[in-house]
Amino acid sequence: MQSLQSTIQENLNQLIQQLEKEGDFSADQKQKLLDKLTETRDYFQRFRKWVESAQKISDLGAWEDYHQKNEIFWSEETYRIFGFAPYSVTPSYELFIDCVHPEDRERIEKAYKKSLQNGEFYHVVFRIQTDDDITKFVEAHAKHFYDEDGNPELTIGTNQNVTERELEKNKILKSLDTKDTLLQEIHHRVKNNLAVVAGMLQLQWLQEDDPEVVKSLRESTNRIKTVAGIHQQLYQSDNLENVSLGENLKNLAGELINSMQADAHIKLESDCDTVYLDITQTLPCSLIANEVVTNAIKHAFEGRETGRIHIQLNEDDGDIQLKISDNGVGLPGDFESPQGSLGMNLIETLSNQLDGKFRFNSTDQGTTFTLEFEQ
């Protein structure tokens, strides 16, 4: 079944061919031609009604710009979108620009000029102001056609009133901005509250004489600071969902080296891929790193003046591998199964939270801890 448009085109072609071939027409031939023209006119009126109705329903208008003839045509809906009664004004580029919001004029003129020069598809959203002081949002599309010499010949475009869509989008963006602000404030307050707890533990260990109690309080303080550091990074970041894991681990290890008392001068090295994780994975991974780095600072460099801790983070198609290595004295033989070790229990529990696997490889040249899990 042919479309209405193709039927009109076929009828017109047949009529033209017949008129070109025939000379004088009999009354019967004239009547047939007249019937054919009348039928084609009715088809055209139906097609035009379809197009106009579709434009009204979608609030979309069409336009044509014949560059070499300096002629511009607007559909009826284009007039209405710009605040005019159909055919009440003469379409022109200058009239169109006058309707555009002053703050948007330069932007859309540059976009249109660029698309015309480069033969690119034209697409832009802008604001217009009508005579009754109503602001509308309009989305424009256009395609350019050129003559054999590459000169612009014709541009066919559409303008659609998208005011309701844009206002709703701006409302959603404003709401998201408000939620982001509140979420940032939550991370900030969590960080502050954890800092208060860490400060209280510090005051507590300063009043303690038992070295084991001081040791436990200090390690607990560092764990709290690790959690607080993640919330601080989220607070300062533009991305409130994910944390740069490599950056977080480098900051964590650096703070531990600076704050913990060690006989050796420890140098920190890092080689980290760019990996972003949400807080549900960043938190256990960071706490694991806290335990491993703390243990290295405390035990790896006994009797040495210098030492090195190296952090390596790699990501391959969602598979993440974290390696923390030192060039210390190595682990004692019974380290794999220390009874009652809070640090090892934490590492095992947190690795399970990540659905990950970990291992220690140790020689007298140093120790390497490896953690593997999926993003």
- The string of pLDDT tens digits covering residues 26-45 is 677 667 766 767 776 666 66
Please give the pLDDT value at position 2.
44
Expressed in angstroms, the distance from the first to the final Cα of the chain is 54
Q: Are 233 and 247 in contact (CB under 8 A)?
A: yes
Query: What is the C-alpha to C-alpha distance for residues 365 and 237, in angstroms, rounded to an integer?
Result: 39
Please give the pLDDT value at position 105.
92
Mean pLDDT of each 10-residue bin along the chain, 375 residues long: 52 63 67 70 64 67 87 86 88 90 91 91 88 82 90 89 84 73 66 71 73 73 70 60 79 79 78 83 83 82 83 88 86 60 80 88 85 89
Helix (H) or strand (E) holding 125: strand 122-129
Please give the pLDDT value at position 4.
42
Alpha carbon 70 to its chain's center: 42
Dihedral of the CA atoms 339, 340, 344, 350 (nearest 10)? 130
Query: What is the C-alpha to C-alpha distance for residues 130 and 289, in angstroms, rounded to an integer?
Result: 62
Residue 278 sits at φ, ψ, to 5 deg, of -75, 170
Query: What is the C-alpha to C-alpha distance for residues 12 and 293, in angstroms, rounded to an integer?
Result: 84
Give the CA angle between residues 330, 331, 337 to the nearest 5°: 160
Please give the pLDDT value at position 115.
92
In order, the DSSP letters of 360-373 are EEEETTEEEEEEEE
Q: What is the pLDDT of residues 62-94, one digit of tens each?
A: 888 988 888 888 888 888 888 888 889 998 989
Residues shown for the chain = 375
CA 101 to each of CA 72, 131, 214: distance values in angstroms, whole numbers, following the listed order: 21, 12, 68
Rg (the chain; Cα; Å)? 37
What residues contact residue 144 under an 8 Å CB cut-off, 6+ apart? Answer: 115, 116, 119, 122, 152, 154, 155
- Coil/strand/helix, residue 74: strand
Tokens linked to 317: 């198609």
Amino acid in position 212: E
Chain position carrying tokens 């004295």 = 329
β-bridge mates for residue 80, sequence order: none
β-bridge mates for residue 144, sequence order: 155
Query: What is the C-alpha to C-alpha distance for residues 194 and 197, in angstroms, rounded to an integer?
Result: 5
Query: What is the C-alpha to C-alpha distance for residues 127 and 135, in angstroms, rounded to an integer?
Result: 7
Give the CA angle between residues 350, 273, 226 to the nearest 5°: 40
Query: What is the C-alpha to C-alpha distance for residues 141 and 61, in angstroms, rounded to an integer?
Result: 11
